[in-house]
Structure 1
């Protein structure tokens, strides 16, 4: 079994989890930690989470490359723990919908797909107006 942990500064992680569950329903393998929202030590919270697992694989998605949350989480990297910095909703959806185990290749493919989903709508609308199409 595999699990995904969203970790962010403040409520980005919990908000993302709520949005995912609005779209897909309850996800038993999706977890969220909102760092720095109370007096909890983020390192202790992460240690607790990482140490208490019945899962074969863990994918941790953090909000910001090089940020404190990303730095804390990166120490857990291993063959069964993957870390991605700078997630968006499209990435989380894609990763959750994949049934196969996580691999470096599948995670890279999901990242590429999520990056391609980011659009500057001013350009998209302008391009589509010229072509008389939209979406």
Structure 2
């Protein structure tokens, strides 16, 4: 089964999960960890997530900042558990992976990251009365 972990500094992970629920409904394969929002030990939360995995699970982890503490701590777990770690994510990449009917291999993840980078752009509308914005 595919398991997705979204772990971020603060409540960003909750916000992304809120958008996912709006777009695709509640998904049992998604786990969210909001790091450093209280005095609890976030490293324990990471360990609990990885302890619940089955050997056959396909695991994709999303973190907010490359080189940030969340990313560094989870890198250790993903390396041990053959999970894919994607950092600096956006909503399109999570949707692509969440909804993919195929197994997401590291090569497939790289392709999806490249494709979803195209979603990041500055939108400068042209003010022409006859044309629609999109």
TM-score normalised according to structure 1 size: 0.89
Q: Would you say the 8 A contact 1:63–1:70 is kept in 2?
A: yes
Partner SS for 2:27: coil
Q: Which of structure 1's runs of 4+ aligned residues deviate more than 2 A?
A: 77-80, 131-134
Structure 1 equivalent of residue 92 of structure 2:
90
Instruction: Give the Cα–Cα distance (whole angstroms) in 1 for the partners of residues 115 and 27 of structure 2.
Output: 21
Q: Would you say the 8 A contact 1:91–1:110 is kept in 2?
A: yes
Structure 2 equivalent of residue 104 of structure 1:
106
Report whether the alignment pairs 1:115 with 2:114. no
Instruction: Give the Cα–Cα distance (whole angstroms) in 2 for the partners of residues 133 and 119 of structure 1.
Output: 18
Query: Which runs of 5 or more structure 2 residues have no equivalent in the other structure?
Result: none
RMSD of the alignment, in Å? 2.0
Where is the helix percentage greater, Structure 1 or Structure 2?
Answer: 1
Partner SS for 1:101: coil
TM-score normalised according to structure 2 size: 0.89
Aligned length: 132
